[in-house]
Chain A
Amino acid sequence: MDLPKDMVAASATPLILAILNNADSYGYDIIAQVKGLSDGEMQWADGMLYPIMHRLEKKELITSYWGQSETGRKRKYYQITSIGQESLISLTNNWRKLNDMLQNLVGENNV
């Protein structure tokens, strides 16, 4: 799966929101989950995630709090907000619609 840059950017928000909708998490774990879900095919440049997280926080789709790692290090956790949950629903619907459109146009035989 070799996703172009703009598709990676567009899919980042719903993926992050969906992960946080399952449970609170932190940057490293979110990246690990994405890698795992895509069987290692979707690779984000790790550092790029954080500015995205901060933008989502600014838009109040997620909030953050400081906790600790198992080894006692300061760790920033993220939590989805109700606005974030609403956004996740509409984003997921959009992706589904787009996917349906493509499937209908191309036809399952050709894909």
Chain B
Amino acid sequence: MFDLNEQVNQWFNTLKNARAIDEQNIDELKDHLFSEIEAQIALGKSQEEAFFIATALLGDQQQLKQEFIKNKQKLFKLCQQQEDASFDELLLKQEEKQQKGLSKMLIGNAIIWASAMIGTALLVKGHDNSQSITMLLVALWFASTYLFGDMKKVAKAECQYFRKVLGFQKT
């Protein structure tokens, strides 16, 4: 038995996955398809025949997708030209690289502060204020570590933002 609604939904499923076509576009195209189907049925065609004629008239899904992509911004087009998945992979790799780089900077930062502390401790040994100076250095080290941690968070958020804009959040 030919289930018209089921067939129509299936036909649109392939378009739904295209990021260039949103829910409202789908509703509009669905209205078009059903209008054509109704017109064909009025001409005496069966539901099945009407469905095949209407979808053929509407055009091939791939072509339709390409036409909708034309309306999008440059960055979006660029992504669509790449395979979606490979572009997402590229973004994730970039994020990983950034995070690794920042982790290295964090370690480097710790080493610099540690040497500064040891050096200063040796210099001010025996001085009245030696303890407060060391405490001050420790506090500064914490502050700079905190800032680096924030930078990591910001970098991660930035990458996530790009993925969201480009519609990669689903994975």
What are the residues of chain B within 8 A of A95 when measuring CB–CB? Answer: none
Interface residues of A (CB under 8 A from B): 26-28, 45-48, 50-51, 54-55, 58, 69, 71, 73-76
Q: Which 7 A-B pairs have the closest CB atoms?
A: A47-B59, A28-B35, A51-B67, A45-B59, A47-B64, A47-B58, A76-B28
CB atoms of A51 and B28 under 8 A apart: no
B143 to chain A, nearest CB (A): 49
CB atoms of B57 and A51 under 8 A apart: no
B64 to chain A, nearest CB (A): 4
Interface residues of B (CB under 8 A from A): 24-25, 27-32, 34-36, 38, 57-59, 63-64, 67-68, 70-71
How far is A58 from B70 in the complex, measured between Cα atoms in Å?
Answer: 13
Pick from B31, B57, B59: contact of A26, CB under 8 Å? B31
Q: With A45-B63, A69-B35, A73-B34 as given contacts, are A50 and B29 in contact (CB-CB < 8 Å)? A: yes
Instruction: Identify 6 residue pairs between A and B in the complex whose beta-carbon atoms are under 8 Å apart, listed by A's number.
Output: A26-B31, A27-B32, A45-B58, A47-B63, A47-B67, A74-B27
A74 to chain B, nearest CB (A): 5
What are the residues of chain A within 8 A of B38 when measuring CB–CB? Answer: 71
What are the residues of chain A within 8 A of B32 when measuring CB–CB? Answer: 27-28, 46-47, 50
What are the residues of chain B within 8 A of A71 when measuring CB–CB? Answer: 34, 38
What are the residues of chain B within 8 A of A69 when measuring CB–CB? Answer: 31, 34-35
How far is A45 from B58 in the complex, measured between Cα atoms in Å?
Answer: 6
Chain B residue nearest in CB terms to A51: B67
